[in-house]
Amino acid sequence: MTVSDFRVRFAPSPTGHLHLGGARTALFNFLFARHHKGTFILRIEDTDRERSTQDSIQAIFDGLEWLSIDWDEGPFFQSKRLGMYQNTADRLLAEGKAYRCFCSPEDLELRRQEAVAKGQPPKYDGRCRTRTDNPGSPFVIRFKNPDTPEIVVSDLIRGNMRFNGNLLDDWVIIRSDGFPTYNFAVVVDDIDMKITHVIRGDDHINNTPRQITLFDALGAPLPRFAHIPMIHGADRAKLSKRHGATSVMAYRDMGYLPEALVNYIARLGWSHKDQEIFSRQELIDYFDLDKVGSSPAIFNPEKLLWLNAQYIRNAPSQDLAERVKFFLKPVNNPIDYIPPDTRPDLPRIVEEWKSRSRTLLELADAIHPFLDQEFTFSPEVLSKQLTQDNIPLLQAFLDQFEHTAEWNKPSLEHIFHQTGTRFELKLSQLAQPLRAALTGQHISPGIYDVLLLLGSRESIRRIKRAILIAGGQT
Ligand code: GLU
C-alpha cells in the first residue's frame, strides 16, 4: 500500500477524564490513519481557560498510552498557538471578513432577551459591522457571516446534511481576552495542519456549518467530514455516569485489558462481517469509514466483560502474571516454606486460573489463596462446604495424603477412587469440600491441578486448618 496524504487528528478538550466516547474517537482516527498509512495528529484544545486542567491533559495522555493509541505529530497545544489565531483574525479584519465588536455583555444579554420576547431567533444583530469609531473599550472579533441561505455538509457517514444558513449570526472568533473561540481555533488548526478528514463525534454536527463558512472565507479547501454517532446506554440515553464507569482508566482499575477495551470500543459503531474479536492488525487492516454506521452505538457492559474474559483466556500466562501483580492484595503469610523447586510460581498458577476469570481483579482474587497461607474462606464456602458433615471426608483425605509416598496425578486419582468408593460419592461431590478447604473458594481449576500446584505439604496443612475451622462451626 502506498503512503497516503491523509491527515487526521484527535482534538480533545482537556476538561475531564478521557471517557469511552473520546477514546473511540481517538481510536477511529488512529485506525483510519494506520489503515491508509496516513498521519495521526494529537491536538489538545485547551483554550477554555476556566475548564482546561493539567490533570485532564495528563488523563488524556495516560488513557491513550494505556490503550496504545500513538500519534505521529504533536501533541500540539492550542494555548501555545495564540499568535496564529490572532494573525488569522487580523487577516480576516484586513479583508473585511471580520470586525471588532464593542457591544458589552450586558447590552448583548438585553438584546437577546428582547429578541426572545418578540419570538425572534436570539442571534447577534450585527450592529458593530458598520461601526467606524473606536470607543477604546474591550472588544471581541466577530466573523462577518456570509449570506448563504443553505450550507450543505457532505458527511462520509451521514451523507448530505442541509443547514439553514440564515440561522447563523456573526459569531465571535476572538474573545475579549484575546483567546480564540472553539470553532475558530479548530478551523485555523485544521487548515494549518492540513487535515484531510475530520472524524469526530456527531455532537459537533451543529458546529460544522459555521466551520465550513470559515474555511471558505479563508480560501482553504474543505476537509472531508465524518461524524460518528454517539454512544448510548441500553436505555437509549447518551452514555453517562449512570450507565457505569465512563472513564477509560476506571476500566484499567476494574481489571480490564487494554486490548479488550480497544476491541470493544472499535465495535461501537463499526463492524466487519460478524467478527467480534480482532487483533490490532486486523482492526488496522479492516477499519474504514464506510463501515461506520449512522445510528447510535449501544454500550453493553456484559459484552465488554465477555470480551475481556476471552482476552484473558488467550493471553500468555507469563504476561498476565506481570499484569495481575498490580491487583494482588498484600499477602499476610506467603507460602515460602515449600521448597523453591516445587513452589508454585505465578505464571503456573495464572495458567490454571485464567480461563475462569473475566477480569484481572477476579484472577487476582482467585490466585490469592495460592500465595497466602492465611487466605480467608468465602461465607458461602463456610456455610456450604466447611460443615461438620464434611469433616469425615476431609479427614479421610488427610489420612491418605499423609501416607502416600508419591504426589502425582496417578497416586491422587487412586486416592480419590478409594475415597469415592468408601463414601459412595462421585468425583465432583468429593472435590467440592476439598476444593473449599484448599482454596477457600467454590470454583477452581481441576482438583488434581490444585493439589499438584500446592504440593503435598501445603495441601495437608490446609486440610488440617479447614478441619479445625469446620469443627469450630456450629
Ligand atoms: N475539542 C473538541 C472536543 O473535545 C473536538 C473538536 C473537533 O474534533 O473538531 O469535543
Domains detected in the chain: 3-79+231-312 (3.40.50.620), 81-228 (3.40.50.620), 323-470 (1.10.10.350)
Distance separating alpha carbons of residues 5 and 323, to the nearest angstrom: 38
Mutate to test the pocket of ligand 1, among 186, 193, 195 (most ligand atoms within 8 A of CB): 186
Which long-range contacts does 85-93 make (Cβ < 8 Å, 24+ apart)?
A: 85/173, 85/174, 85/180, 85/184, 85/185, 85/188, 86/174, 86/178, 88/184, 88/188, 88/218, 89/141, 89/173, 89/174, 89/180, 89/184, 91/218, 92/141, 92/143, 92/173, 92/217, 92/218, 93/141
* Ligand 1 touching residue 14 (CB < 6 A): no
Distance separating alpha carbons of residues 174 and 182, to the nearest angstrom: 9
Mutate to test the pocket of ligand 1, among 45, 78, 230 (most ligand atoms within 8 A of CB): 45
User: Do the bridges between strand 172-174 and strand 98-101 make them parallel or antiparallel, or are there none, so unpaired?
Assistant: unpaired
Q: Which pLDDT value is given to residue 61?
A: 98
Residue 166, C-beta contacts closer than 8 angstroms, at least 6 positions apart:
149
Give the H or E element holding residue 22: helix 20-35
Q: Which pLDDT value is given to residue 336?
A: 60
Amino acid at 387: T
* Eight-class DSSP state of 149: S
Instruction: List the helix and strand counts (H, then E) for the chain.
Output: 18, 12
- Computed on alpha carbons and rounded to an integer, the radius of gyration of the chain in Å comes to 32
* Ligand 1 touching residue 17 (CB < 6 A): no
Distance separating alpha carbons of residues 175 and 165, to the nearest angstrom: 23
Which long-range contacts does 426-433 make (Cβ < 8 Å, 24+ apart)?
A: 430/393, 432/385, 433/385, 433/386, 433/390, 433/393, 433/394
* DSSP helix/strand/coil, 257: coil
Mutate to test the pocket of ligand 1, among 18, 43, 190, 200 (most ligand atoms within 8 A of CB): 200
* Eight-class DSSP state of 220: P
Q: Compute CA distances 291 → 268, 269, 281, 283, 344, whole Å.
A: 11, 8, 17, 12, 48
Ligand 1, atom 7, lies closest to the CA of 11
Distance separating alpha carbons of residues 299 and 318, to the nearest angstrom: 31
Distance separating alpha carbons of residues 29 and 188, to the nearest angstrom: 19
Question: Among this protein's residues, is 241 annotated catalytic?
Answer: yes
Nearest atom in ligand 1 to the alpha carbon of residue 203 is 10
Distance separating alpha carbons of residues 385 and 439, to the nearest angstrom: 12
Residue 186, C-beta contacts closer than 8 angstroms, at least 6 positions apart:
11, 45, 207, 211
Nearest atom in ligand 1 to the alpha carbon of residue 15 is 4
Q: How far apart are the first and last CA of the chain?
A: 73
* Ligand 1 touching residue 366 (CB < 6 A): no
What grid cell was written down for 202?
A: 456527531
Q: Are 375 and 333 in contact (CB under 8 A)?
A: no
Per-residue pLDDT tens digits of the chain, which is 474 residues long: 447 899 999 999 999 999 999 999 999 999 999 999 999 999 999 998 889 999 999 999 999 999 999 999 999 999 999 999 999 999 999 999 999 999 999 999 999 999 899 998 888 999 999 998 888 899 999 999 998 999 999 999 999 999 999 889 999 999 999 999 999 999 999 999 999 999 999 999 999 999 999 999 999 999 999 999 999 998 988 888 788 778 999 999 999 999 999 999 999 999 999 999 999 999 999 999 999 999 999 999 999 999 999 999 999 999 999 999 999 988 877 776 444 445 557 898 899 899 999 999 999 998 888 888 889 898 999 999 999 999 999 999 999 999 999 999 999 999 999 999 999 999 989 999 999 999 998 887 889 989 998 889 999 999 999 999 999 876
* Ligand 1 touching residue 186 (CB < 6 A): yes
Instruction: Tell me the CB-side half-sphere exposure of residue 439, using CA atoms within 13 A.
Output: 26
* Ligand 1 touching residue 228 (CB < 6 A): no
Q: Are 15 and 294 in contact (CB under 8 A)?
A: no
How many whole angstroms from 12 Cα to the centroid of ligand 1?
Answer: 5
Q: What is the pTM of this model?
A: 0.91
Nearest atom in ligand 1 to the alpha carbon of residue 9 is 8
* Ligand 1 touching residue 11 (CB < 6 A): yes
How many whole angstroms from 183 Cα to the centroid of ligand 1?
Answer: 9
Q: Are 143 and 173 in contact (CB under 8 A)?
A: yes
